[in-house]
Amino acid sequence: MLEKILKKTIHNQLESLSGWDEQKVKKFQQNLLSWYYDQRRRLPWREKPSLYGTVVSEFMLQQTRVSTVLPYFERWMKEFPDFKVLAGADESDVLKLWEGLGYYSRARNLHKLAKQIVELESIPQTRAEWLEFPGVGPYASAAISSIAFEEPEAVVDGNVVRIFARLFKDQREYKGTAEATKKMATLTQSFLNLDNPGDHNQALMELGATVCLPKKPLCLICPVSECCLARLSEPEAYPTIKRRVKRQVIVSRVFSLSNRKLLLYRHPEDAPRLAGLYELPKLESLVIRGRPRLLFSRARAISNEKIKEMIYNTDIADNDLPSGHSWVNVCNIDEVPMSGPHRAWVMELISKQD
Ligand code: SF4
């Protein structure tokens, strides 16, 4: 039966399916789980599990490393300890606490989700129900429903794709991680430990994050190495995912300080990505006086773009500022929500003026 599923799922493109029967899958699950119980990192959302903690951690961990998330999670749980407190919070306070984590739509969606949850008579449990909430996609819905409610839903993300591609020496070439996760979904579901789906999923995530690393995987200490076809050849060669070429973008910004007031731009409430956040304004949106002087440039990458940020100093014709622009007293800079890089640039430049 299992072999049939595997064959159907992967269209015979994997090197070997032979030998995988119910017993071998059970052994795989047991080895994975005992390793997880013994070796897992003691993370706050795992040690004191709760639905709210699981949801918050899943939102924060999207595109972000555990080590970065840890201090944010601790602060968040102190400030907003449950759905009710979060639902009643001001959006600017929510964004302020998220400041530096990036991808701010996660904070806004988490805030909206809390507002929706507190209005419900009962807490949803199934993956399909969780998928209805803002910001909850296929991965987060499987993670939340399996970890908090033991729903039999397998998670698939880049880490899980990597593990399974190596276990089976998957020769397919994927257009991107999204395609790979989609194509691996049936296979990973057939390996799910139905007695303990939440811990099984967390064990796979932990294995991908700490042992089956993209570069130099630690096969010698891997709990599932005996089932892994790639371990003796070239594990790093799997999976094969075409990398998109990053687009080069240059953005010119203005740092203008006048009478201890800094000119900032606030993204409107309906902006798709950075709604409500302040940043250094773009040069092209302002009427400037004189010749701008380059203060510094910084490189950064956001999703598919390589961005070169050029920060200029110049005088502004401030009698007719375009909408969203305003002078903010430097004494109040700490209060306004700003993305991590902008905060760092602003603080560096202000300190140079003092
Ligand atoms: S044996 Fe190596 S390549 Fe295979 S799953 Fe374990 S860490 Fe990954």
Cα-to-centroid distance, 227 and ligand 1 (Å): 9
CATH (residue range 247-353):
3.90.79.10
pLDDT attached to residue 38: 97
3-state secondary structure of 282: strand
Q: For the chain, report the end-to-end CA distance as a whole number of angstroms.
A: 72
Q: Is 224 in the pocket of ligand 1 (CB under 6 A)?
A: yes
pTM: 0.79
Q: Is 204 in the pocket of ligand 1 (CB under 6 A)?
A: no
Cα-to-centroid distance, 154 and ligand 1 (Å): 19
Neighbours of 199 (CB within 10 A): 20
Q: What is the pLDDT of residues 143-182, one digit of tens each?
A: 999 999 999 999 999 999 999 999 999 999 999 889 999 9
Cα-to-centroid distance, 199 and ligand 1 (Å): 19
Among 160, 212, 220, name the best residue to mutate to test ligand 1's pocket (greatest count of ligand atoms within 8 A of Cβ): 212
CA distances, 167 to each of 139, 160, 225 (Å):
21, 11, 8
pLDDT attached to residue 1: 54
Neighbours of 311 (CB within 10 A): 22
pLDDT attached to residue 10: 46
Q: What is the pLDDT of residues 50-92, one digit of tens each?
A: 999 999 999 999 989 999 999 999 999 999 999 999 999 999 9
Q: Is 235 in the pocket of ligand 1 (CB under 6 A)?
A: yes
Tokens 């303990």 sit on residue: 196
The answer to whether 312 touches 295, Cβ cutoff 8 Å, is: yes
Q: Is 160 in the pocket of ligand 1 (CB under 6 A)?
A: no
For residue 41, give the amino acid letter. Answer: R
**Cα 115 to the center of its chain, rounded Å:** 22
Radius of gyration of the chain (CA): 24
- Nearest-angstrom CA–CA distance, 311 and 296: 6
- Nearest-angstrom CA–CA distance, 33 and 196: 9
3-state secondary structure of 134: coil
pLDDT attached to residue 11: 43
Closest CA to 276 of 111, 95, 107: 95
Domain positions in the chain: 2-241, 247-353
The answer as to CATH 3.40.50.720 being correct for domain 2-241 is: no
Going by alpha carbons, the residue nearest to atom 1 of ligand 1 is: 225
Among 161, 211, 236, name the best residue to mutate to test ligand 1's pocket (greatest count of ligand atoms within 8 A of Cβ): 211
Q: Is 163 in the pocket of ligand 1 (CB under 6 A)?
A: yes
pLDDT attached to residue 18: 61
- Nearest-angstrom CA–CA distance, 181 and 186: 10
Cα-to-centroid distance, 103 and ligand 1 (Å): 31
- Nearest-angstrom CA–CA distance, 297 and 285: 19
pLDDT attached to residue 334: 87
Q: List, as own/partner pairs, every contact residues 108-114 make where C-beta atoms lie below 8 angstroms and the sequence separation is at least 24, other chains included.
A: 108/135, 108/275, 108/276, 109/59, 109/133, 109/134, 109/135, 109/136, 110/55, 110/56, 110/59, 110/86, 110/135, 111/86, 111/87, 113/55, 114/80, 114/83, 114/84, 114/86, 114/87
pLDDT attached to residue 232: 87
Cα-to-centroid distance, 158 and ligand 1 (Å): 14
Name the residues annotated as catalytic. 58
Q: Is 219 in the pocket of ligand 1 (CB under 6 A)?
A: yes
The answer to whether 251 touches 307, Cβ cutoff 8 Å, is: yes
Q: pLDDT under 50 in the chain at which residues?
A: 10-15
Going by alpha carbons, the residue nearest to atom 8 of ligand 1 is: 212
Q: Is 211 in the pocket of ligand 1 (CB under 6 A)?
A: yes
